[in-house]
Structure 1
Amino acid sequence: MKTHLLLIKLLTLLVLSTSQHFDFFYLVQQWPGSQCDSKFSCCYPTKGKPKPDFGIHGLWPNWINGSYPSNCDSNSPFNSSEIIDLVSQMESHWPTLSCPSNDGQKFWGYEWNKHGTCSKSVLDQHDFFSTTLKLKTQINLLGALQDAGIHPNGSEYTMTSIRDAIKGARGYTPWIECNRDVSGNSQLYQIYLCVDSSGSRFIECPVTLAKKCSPSIKFPLF
C-alpha cells in the first residue's frame, strides 16, 4: 500500500513538472470598446467604467507546437491576500468586463488558476500579476497606435497599418484578433505579443497564429 501511494505521488509530481514546462508567454490585451460593442455586451466593474485603454486579458504560457498547459496545480488556488498591494493597479490595468458587475477577483482568480499555476516554476502568484502589469505598462499599445495616427474613434484602419504601427514603435510583431460588432463589422479586439519563458522581455513570436480579421477593421470608441 505504501509503495502504491508513493508511486502515485511520484507520478503526480512528474505530471506537474511536465505541465509547468513551457516555451514562451502570450501577453494578451483587449480593447474594451470591442468587448462591449458585440453581441456578448459587457458590464463595467463595480468601481465604474474603466479608462479608455487596452486592458490585460492574461499572461499565458505556451508551447512552440501551438498548444498550451492549463490548470496545472489545483493545490495552489488563487489567494487574493497575496496581491493586496497590486489591487489598485489591477483595477486600472486588468479590469473585468464580465456580467454581472463585479470587483475583478473572479477574473483574476480564473487567470491564475488556468494559466498562472502553469508558470509557478518561474513566477509565484504575486510575481505572475506584478510581472504582467509591468509588461503591459512597458509596451503601451494605445500610445503606439495613437502616435501613428490610429485612434479609437470608430474609424476603420487596415490590419497592416495597425501591425506596422506596433512593430515600428515597440520592435515586435503583434498578432491581432478581431470580433464582430452588433452590426457584423470586423473590429480590433485583442492584441497578442510574445514574452520569453522567464517573463522578463518581449520576443518575436515563435508561432504564427491563424488570422481572424478582415483587411480593414474598426477601432471603436469606448
Structure 2
Amino acid sequence: MRKQSNNILLLIKFLSLHYLLVLSAAQDFDFFYFVQQWPGSYCDTNQGCCYPGTGKPASDFGIHGLWPNRNDGSYPSNCDSSNPFDASKISDLMSQMKSEWPTLSCPSNDGLKFWGHEWDKHGTCSESVLDQHSYFSTALGLKTNINLLQALENAGIHPDGSEYSLTSIKDAIKEASGYTPWIQCNTDSSGNSQLYQVYLCVDSSGSSFVECPVFPHGSCGASIEFPSF
C-alpha cells in the first residue's frame, strides 16, 4: 500500500513538473517581430539573388518572418525538433506563400527550404498560440493589414534608387500602420546604405500590431537609398 502511495506521489510530481514546463514554454516570448524585406536591397548586394521556377517576384515587400521575441531583447529559437516543417500542412496557402513570402536565395529553389527554416527556428517557439498552419496564415494576414510599398509611395518615397531620409520613411510607415517601425539597412555592391527590412511588432497572440517593447541592435544612416527591383 505504501509503495502504491509512493508511486502516486511520484506521478503527481512528474505531472506537476510537466505542467510547469509546458506553462514555461507557453510564456517564453512576449511579442512577435513581423519582418518584411525589400527584394531590390537583397538582390543588389554582392551575394546576389535567384528566382525559383515561378519567375521574378512582384516589385513589393515580401515576408521574411514572424519571430517570437522577449521584452528584454532576447528570443527563443528551435524550440521543438519533434514538430518539423511539413509542407502538406500549408498546401492551401502555397500560392499565396509564393507571391507574398518569396525566396530569393541562391541556388534557386521552390521556397520550401526558406519556409522550413522559418518554422523550425521561429515558428516552433510560438506553438503555444499558433500551430504550423496558423503560423503561416497569420503572417500572410498581417501583410494584408499594412501595405508598406503603398505607404511609402503615398509619402513620395519610391523605389527608384533615390535617397530618402530615414525619418521620412519611418513617419510614412507609422502614418499608415499607427505604429513605429524599426528599419534595417544593408549595403549594395558599391557600399551604399539602403532600405532593406522593416520590423513591426505584433502582440503575443499574433492578432494585432503593437508598439515595439524593444528594437533590435543596429542603425541606418540619416539618409538611405530605396533601390529599384
Q: Shorter-chain TM-score: which interval?
A: over 0.9
- What is the aligned partner in structure 2 of residue 18 from structure 1? 24
| Structure-2 separation of matches of 1:178 and 1:87 | 29
8 Å Cα contact 2:25-2:128 kept in structure 1: no
What does 1:46-195 align with in structure 2 at a 5 Å threshold?
46-195=53-202
Aligned AA (2:149): L
Provide the aligned C-alpha RMSD in A.
Answer: 2.0
How far apart are residue 46 of structure 1 and its match?
Answer: 2.2
Task: Report the CA distance shift for 1:61/1:181 in structure 2 as closer, same or farther (over 3 A).
Answer: same
Partner of 1:220: 227
Cα shift at 1:69: 0.5
TM-score, normalisation: structure 2: 0.90
How far apart in 1 are the matches of 2:107 and 2:188?
20
Question: CA offsets per residue over residues 101-149 of structure 1, 9 Å max, x none?
Answer: 0000010011001110110110110000001000011111111001111
Q: Aligned partner of 2:61: which letter?
A: F
Q: Partner of 1:99: helix, strand, or coil?
A: coil
Tell me how far apart the structure 2 counterparts of residues 35 and 194 of structure 1 sit (CA, whole Å). 22
1:20–1:69 CA contact under 8 A, matched in 2 = no
Gaps of 5+ in 1: none
Whichever residue aligns with residue 139 of structure 1, its letter is I
1-structure distance, mates of 2:42, 2:15: 43
| Structure 1 stretches of at least 4 aligned residues deviating more than 4 Å after TM superposition | 6-17
Q: How much has 1:10 moved relative to structure 2?
A: 7.9
In the alignment, the residues of structure 1 paired with residue 176 and residue 36 of structure 2 have an alpha-carbon distance, to the nearest angstrom, of 17
Displacement of 1:45 after TM fit? 2.0
- Residue 39 of structure 1 and its aligned partner are, at CA, apart by 1.5
Alignment partners' CA distance in 2, 1:202 and 1:55: 18
Task: Provide the identity percentage.
Answer: 68
Letter in 2 for 1:195: V
Could you tell me which of 49, 55, 59 is aligned with 1:42? Answer: 49
Question: 2:186 is paired with a residue of what secondary structure?
Answer: strand
Deviation at 1:8, TM superposition (A): 9.1
TM-score (norm 1): 0.93
Structure ID, larger Rg:
2
The Cα shift of 1:209 comes to 2.9
Shift of 1:11: 6.6
Report if aligned partners of 2:49, 2:105 keep a CA contact under 8 Å in 1. Answer: yes
| Alignment gaps of 5+ in structure 2 | 1-6
Shift of 1:210: 2.8
3-state DSSP of counterpart to 1:110: helix
- In 2, the alpha carbon distance for the partners of 1:16 and 1:188 equals 39
Residues 184-218 of structure 1, C-alpha deviations (whole Å, 9 max, x = no match): 00000000000000000000001133342111000
203-212 or 170-179, which deviates more: 203-212
Instruction: Tell me how far apart the structure 1 counterparts of residues 78 and 108 of structure 2 sit (CA, whole Å).
Output: 25
